[in-house]
Amino acid sequence: MTTITFLGAGSVVFTRELLVDILSFDELRGVTLALHDIDAERLETAEGIARQTAAQLGASPVIRSSLDRRAALDGADYVINTIQVGMHEATVRDFDVPAAFGLRQTIGDTLGVGGIFRGLRTFPVLGEIARDMLEICPDAWLLNYTNPMAMNIAYLHAVAPTLKAVGLCHSVYWTVRGLCEVIDVPYEEVVYTSAGVNHQAWVLRWERGGESLYPLLDERIAADPELRRRVRVDMYRRLGYYPTETSEHSSEYVPWYLRHDAEVERLRIPVGDYVKISRDNRAEYVATRDALREGKPLDLSRGATEYAPEVIHAIETGTRRRIFANVPNAGLIGNLPQGYAVEVPCVVDALGVRPEAVGELPPQCAAVNRSFVSVGELAVRAALTGDPRLVRQAAMVDPNTAASLTVDRIWELCDALTQAHGDLLPAALREPVKL
C-alpha cells in the first residue's frame, strides 16, 4: 500500500487542499496517510481534516498521526514537506526588524533578508529530515513546498545528493492561467513552457495554434493603463518575457522598485503584505479547527490540482504528465550556475521525475536570475560552512537590500536579525562578526 507522509501537517491550507487532490484520484483513495507535526493541537486538527475529507469524499485511506517524525516516515513512499520553522512569530520578526532599518519587503520568504533568514532557520531541520529519510525510507520521494524553495533544494542537494528531492510550486501554472484571463483565451487551448529559478522563472513560450500570444498581451497592456501598474507587467515590457510569480513577490527580487516611494505608488506595491497573509493563515487554521470540533463539513472545492498529488498519481499509475519543478541544475540551463536549484519542465511517469534540459535562457533573463542565485548560493554556503560572514555577504549582494541600505546598515541589520531569531539559527551563525 502506498504511504504518503505529511511533514508540517498542521499547515491546514496545504494539508486540506493536498488531501482533497490525493483522495480524488480513484487509485489513491486507499493510501496510507502518515501525518506529522511538532504541535500537538495542530496535528490533532490535521488528523481531523484527513478523516473528515475522507468521509466527505467516500474514500477509505489508512490515517495515522505522530509527533515523532521518524515514526511518521516509517514505510513512506512519498514525503510532502510543508514545514515553517518559527511559524508566524518568526515571519513577523523577518519584517519588523528590517522595517526598523528602512528596508521594505513584501513577502520575505524567498530572497532578501527575509528569505535568507528563513532559509537559515529551515536548513537544519531539512538536514535532519534528509538524514532520517536516507535511513528509514531511502527510496521515498521528498516533495518540498517549503520556502525559500531554491535555497532549500540547493541545500538538500549539497547535504544529501542521493535523496530524491523535488521542489513543487504552483506559480508557473497560475501565472499562465492569469495571463490567459487577461487576453480572454481559454487556458485549455494554450501550450507553454517556462524556465528560470523558482518565483523568478520566465514564460519562454505561450502559444495557441502555433502562434505566440504575447502580441495579444501587448495589445491589452497598451489599451489598459491599470495593467501597466503591475510590477510583472513593467518587468515584461522591459525584459521581453513575463516572470512567473506575483508582482508582490517580483518587486523584492530586483533593485528597481521598493526603494522608491514613487515606484511603490505607481505600481501599487503592498509593502509588508505577507504579515497579513500569515495572520490570515492563522485565522483560517482556527476557523478550521473550530469547524471540525463543531462537526461542520469542510469546504472541499478546488480550483486546480496541486503538483504533489499529480506526481504521486503519475508515478504510481504510470500516467505521463509534464509539470514545472525545482531540481539541481545539472546542465539544464546553460547560462545559470550549475548545482544550484532551477525551475524547469519535468516529465513525470512510472520512472519518476525527469527534468528536461532547456538550453540557455535569454541573456537578459539569465542576468536577472544570476543576482537571485548569488544570494541563495551564499546563504547555503553559510549554512554548510558555519561562516556568519557569508550571511552578511548574501545580504550585501541581495538586489533590494543593496539598493536600499549602506553596507554598514546591512551588517547591523543581519546582527539584529541574528539576535531576534536566537536559537532558531545554528549556533555557529550566531557568533559575532567583526570587520
Q: What is the pLDDT of residue 300?
A: 84
Q: What SS3 class is residue 170? A: coil
CATH label, 3-167, candidates 3.40.50.10470, 3.40.50.720, 3.50.50.60, 3.30.1490.20: 3.40.50.720
12 band by pLDDT with thresholds 50, 70 and 90:
confident
What are 382's three cell numbers? 553559510
Residues 6 or more apart whose Cβ sits within 8 Å of residue 261? none
112 band by pLDDT with thresholds 50, 70 and 90:
very high
Q: Parallel, antiparallel, or unpaired for β 321-328 and 164-168?
A: antiparallel
Half-sphere exposure of 336 (CA within 13 A, CB side): 38
Q: Is the pLDDT of residue 404 over 90?
A: yes
266 is in an annotated binding site: yes
Is-contact 106 269, C-beta < 8 A?
A: yes
Annotation says 36 is catalytic: no
Residue (of 316, 338, 317) closest to 327 by Cα position: 338
For the chain, first and last CA: distance in Å?
A: 57
Q: What is the pLDDT of residue 106?
A: 96
Residues 6 or more apart whose Cβ sits within 8 Å of residue 311? 78, 141, 143, 166, 168, 321, 323, 348, 353
169 is in an annotated binding site: yes
Instruction: Report the DSSP beta bridge partners of residue 242.
Output: 203
What are 434's three cell numbers? 567583526
Residue (of 74, 79, 17, 77) closest to 46 by Cα position: 17
H/E run at residue 344: strand 341-349
Residue (of 288, 297, 32, 309) closest to 145 by Cα position: 309
Q: Is the pLDDT of residue 347 over 90?
A: yes
What are 269's three cell numbers? 506595491
Q: What is the pLDDT of residue 276?
A: 84
Does pTM top 0.85 for this prediction? yes
User: Which residue among the candidates 157, 170, 260, 421 is catalytic per the annotation?
Assistant: 170
